[in-house]
Every structure is written in structure tokens, then in C-alpha cells.
Amino acid sequence: MPSWSLKLSALFITLFVLAGSFDYARGHVKNSSAPLQPPIADGAAASGSAATASPGPTIGPLLTTRPGQRVPATTPGPRLTLAPGVQSASLAPITLTHTS
Amino acid sequence: MDPQLFVWIVARATGVAGYIALCLSILSGIALRTSVLDFLATNRALRSLHDFMTWVWIPLGLAHAGSLLLDKTAQIAPLDLVVPFRVSYAPLAIGLGTLSLDIVAVITITSWLRRRLDDRAWRWIHRASYVAFVTLFLHALLSGTDFSSPLISSISWSAALGIGLLAVSRIFFGRLPE
């Protein structure tokens, strides 16, 4: 086999892998099963400054996204609907559910 | 496309492609001197391929390292590309890649200076490519974002298996003389 054909084949394989993995990475920007999930530098800095401004307890970001990545739409939580005749009362909320 | 997203995608793509190019380089190098494949020993095309692949994986490796430097999320400092196990998060997974890069750089530079080196010393340094490959594979396994993809995983494992088989056959069936 001539030398140039071997080189060309190897180059073609490498370029094919490069193009294929580029396309794959573009389609799968955020991989939740990736072994490394580094903290986001800008996000961490931003949340750090916000934490100093508000003294109350805060929770971290539930979903980390890279810049330019589309944020998936969040689904609304379950809503409580009351019958038309039911009205709210100014009583203390019932927190004890134990019955003897 | 956002520049930060672009460098992140480039880092991942060049990482996979660089790994494959380096595998082809190592495979062609081992095949040249394995007694099981003695019919390839005088194959100038294979020798030429082994030399040529250096010029394929070097730009891919540089692009991989360079794009990770530019990626703010990766948080890789220039010193992390030379000194392994310095990164604040996942130091082992990333440090193995740095270690592999260091070993491969030494092997490549000593190969370019082969005529100035003692032949036996050069050969022992060149054998460090097995260590470099193992560290590279572990780096890909422990930190590769796309390693969970069945296709990329199968390609990576197949290349590693090929190198492993040739290395084992070289141990058991011997090495061809220069």
C-alpha cells in the first residue's frame, strides 16, 4: 500500500471523528451524565454577590447552563383549585394531622 | 454561536479527535516492532504514517488545551497545562491529561533529537508512550464529557483494546530488532 494512501486514510478518519464529535457536542451541549460538572465561574460570582446583599437563606441554582445554551421551559407546579362556595378564614392554619 | 459555547464544543471535539489521532500514531508505532506483525517491520508506509500522525495529533492537542484555557467554565490556568493535579476541581481526572501531555511532549521532542541521543536512552524514553496512553485513556474515561455516548465510547474502547492487544502480544511474542 502506498504511503500517501495510508496517511490520507488516517487523516480522513481523524477529520471524520473531529467533525462527528463536533456535531455531537453541538447537539448535546449539556451532558448530565458527564463525569465532571465544574462550577460556573460567572454564575458563582454573581450568586456570591447576591448572597451578600440578602441576609436570608438562599438555595443554589437548580439548573446550570452554559452561556448561549437554551434554558429548558419549566413546568408549573400543581395548583389547588377550590370549589366556588369555599372561602378562606382568618384562623390559624392546621398543622397537626394526628388523630387519636 | 456564543464564543464560550464554541470553545467548549471545540475542546470536546478536538479532545476526541486528538485521542484517535494519538491512538493511530501509537498503533502504527507498536505494529512496526511487534514480532506477531513482522511482515510490517519493513513497511515504509507504516513508518511514514507513524511519523506523519505526530503532525495530526499535535494541532488537535494544542487546540484541545487552548480551547480549555479560553473556556471560563473549565477554569484551566496556563500552568495547569504543564503542572498536573493543580486544578481545584477533579484534580486527578484533569491532572492525568496534563501528565499525558507532558510525557507525550518529552517523547516527541526526544524523537526529533534522536540522532543526538544515545539509542538505548531514546528507546526507554519512547517506551513511556505506553504510560502516556494509559494516563490519556484514564483522563478520557474520568473527564470525557462525551465518553458516555455509545458511539464515541465504542470508538475509544476499540482503539484502547487494539493498543492493549498489540502491547500484550509484544510482551509475550517479543519485539523485533531495529
pLDDT at A71: 60
ipTM: 0.88
Q: Which is higher by pLDDT, B9 or A93?
A: B9
Asked if residue B58 lies in contact with residue B108, where contact means CB atoms within 8 angstroms, the answer is yes
Beta-carbon separation of B16 and A10 below 8 A: no
| pLDDT over 70 (residue A73) | no
Asked if residue A1 lies in contact with residue B45, where contact means CB atoms within 8 angstroms, the answer is yes
Asked if residue B63 lies in contact with residue B69, where contact means CB atoms within 8 angstroms, the answer is no
Q: Which is higher by pLDDT, A89 or B157?
A: B157
pLDDT at A51: 42
Provide, as residue numbers in chain B, all residues whose Cβ is less than 8 Å from the Cβ of A40: 72-73
Distance CA B108, CA B114 (A): 10
**How confident is residue B43, by pLDDT bands cut at 50, 70 and 90?**
confident
| pLDDT over 70 (residue A56) | no
Provide, as residue numbers in chain B, all residues whose Cβ is less than 8 Å from the Cβ of A18: 13-14, 16-17, 60
Total-model pTM = 0.75
Give the mean pLDDT of B112-118.
91
pLDDT at A47: 45
Choose the closest CB to B5 out of A15, A18, A69: A69
pLDDT tens-digit readout, B63-104: 999 999 999 888 889 999 999 999 888 899 999 999 999 999
Exposure string for B115-128, b = 16+ CB within 10 A, e = fewer? eeeeeeebeebbee
- Is A50's Cβ below 8 Å from some Cβ in B? no
